[in-house]
């Protein structure tokens, strides 16, 4: 959970409520009850917490540190809106975060471990008795500096979410197909490759699923798109009560739909207004966009 300063070539915001947990929880809450763990300082707007609670998000795992300062991130998007630079990160109360779940949360079936240090992700996961399905995100920093902790985590994860560069870095393989196969050897049953404006792919031992991004005339702010995607995914799996390959395909489509809605305003503003009807509409747009007839060639 964070407060973000975001600059794009077309405008920006300062101190916007954000953070991976916030985006993912908002997206998932459209489809399933959500329990959120995180940490904020006294500067985190009470109204934002009330907004999350009003969406049925249980904030019992959110620690509010009196006198503390929330994690802050500043980022600037380049003209193509697909690459960004981090201007600063200010850890604040996050520096001493040790996520402790309420005891009653040990039965949580669907778990999304948003991007934090892999040791903390592992610590969260250890507090859940026998999760049905676990998804984890990570980043270049941890792949480089906490590789062994990340590998330890991956043995207990069903899905790892990465982008192209992270996949290459983690696997030390250039070809993405070979790279994904290697990461499957580390433990996850699935690798999700997030490709930004080019969509996403799901790779498992025997197959591959790909979904393009929705073409949008108005990308305002890509911040949180990946977390919204993950939140939509795990929310859909929980809604379906199914973790089959067919369910995962549907979950990737819902994630793509949610992410496409997220990027059409700054921060969480668009996401706050999203309904299930919006997800349905974009899901079916994606289906129309990707459907084609069987091969008629005679062989």
Residue ranges in contact with a second copy by CB under 8 A = 31, 79-80, 174-178, 180-181, 195, 197-199, 201, 203, 207-212, 215-219, 239-240, 246, 249-250, 252-254, 276-277, 279-280, 283-284, 287-299
CA distances from 283 to 61, 93, 257, 261, 278 (A): 31, 38, 6, 11, 8
Six-digit token string for 274: 């999203």
Q: Tell me the sheet residues that pair with 208.
A: 203
Taking the complex as a whole, how short is the minimal distance between the CB of residue 27 and a second copy, in angstroms?
13
Question: Between residues 67 and 217, which has the closer beta carbon with respect to a second copy?
Answer: 217
Question: Between residues 157 and 193, which has the closer beta carbon with respect to a second copy?
Answer: 193
Question: Between residues 127 and 285, which has the closer beta carbon with respect to a second copy?
Answer: 285
CA distance 285 to 293: 17
Spatial contact of 180 and 147, defined as CB atoms under 8 Å apart: no
The 3-state DSSP class for residue 47 equals helix
Question: Between residues 168 and 272, which has the closer beta carbon with respect to a second copy?
Answer: 168
Question: Between residues 129 and 174, which has the closer beta carbon with respect to a second copy?
Answer: 174
Question: Between residues 89 and 169, which has the closer beta carbon with respect to a second copy?
Answer: 169
Six-digit token string for 78: 């380049």
CB-based burial label for 54 (10 Å; 0-12, 13-18, 19+): exposed
Phi first, then psi, for residue 134 (nearest 5°) are -125, 125
Taking the complex as a whole, how short is the minimal distance between the CB of residue 34 and a second copy, in angstroms?
17
Taking the complex as a whole, how short is the minimal distance between the CB of residue 29 and a second copy, in angstroms?
14
Question: Between residues 140 and 284, which has the closer beta carbon with respect to a second copy?
Answer: 284
Six-digit token string for 189: 């049953």
Taking the complex as a whole, how short is the minimal distance between the CB of residue 276 and a second copy, in angstroms?
5
CA distances from 295 to 141, 226, 292, 298 (A): 45, 34, 9, 9
List the strands of the sheet with 2-8, edge to edge: 11-18, 2-8, 71-77, 84-90
Q: No. of H helices and E strands in the chain?
A: 11, 12
Taking the complex as a whole, how short is the minimal distance between the CB of residue 155 and a second copy, in angstroms?
25
Taking the complex as a whole, how short is the minimal distance between the CB of residue 137 and a second copy, in angstroms?
21
CB-based burial label for 78 (10 Å; 0-12, 13-18, 19+): exposed
CA distance 134 to 232: 14
Taking the complex as a whole, how short is the minimal distance between the CB of residue 88 and a second copy, in angstroms?
27
């Amino acid at each position: 959970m964070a407060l973000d300063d975001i600059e794009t070539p077309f405008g920006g915001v300062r101190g916007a409520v954000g953070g991976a947990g916030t985006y993912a929880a908002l997206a998932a809450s459209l489809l399933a009850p959500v329990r959120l763990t995180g940490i904020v300082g006294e500067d985190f707007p009470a109204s934002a917490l009330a907004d999350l609670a009003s969406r049925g998000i249980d904030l019992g795992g959110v620690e509010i540190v009196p006198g503390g300062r929330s994690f802050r991130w500043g980022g600037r998007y380049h003209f193509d809106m697909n690459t960004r630079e981090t201007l600063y990160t200010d850890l604040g109360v996050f520096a001493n975060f040790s996520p402790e779940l309420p005891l009653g949360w040990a039965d949580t079936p669907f778990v999304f471990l948003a991007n934090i240090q892999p040791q903390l992700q592992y610590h969260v996961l250890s507090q859940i008795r026998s999760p049905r399905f676990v998804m984890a995100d990570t980043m270049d920093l941890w792949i480089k500096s906490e590789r062994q902790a990340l590998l330890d985590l991956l043995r207990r994860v069903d899905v790892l979410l990465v982008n192209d560069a992270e996949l290459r870095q983690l696997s030390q393989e250039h070809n993405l197909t070979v790279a994904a196969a290697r990461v499957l050897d580390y433990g996850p049953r699935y690798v999700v490759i997030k490709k930004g404006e080019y969509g996403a792919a799901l790779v498992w031992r025997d197959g591959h699923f790909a979904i393009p991004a929705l073409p949008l005339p108005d990308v305002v702010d890509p911040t949180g798109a990946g977390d919204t995607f993950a939140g939509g995914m795990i929310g859909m799996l929980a809604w379906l009560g199914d973790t089959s390959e067919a369910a995962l395909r549907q979950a990737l489509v819902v994630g793509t739909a949610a992410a496409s809605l997220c990027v059409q305003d700054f921060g969480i503003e668009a996401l706050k207004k999203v309904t299930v009807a919006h997800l349905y509409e974009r899901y079916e747009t994606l289906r129309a966009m990707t459907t084609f007839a069987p091969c008629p060639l005679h062989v």
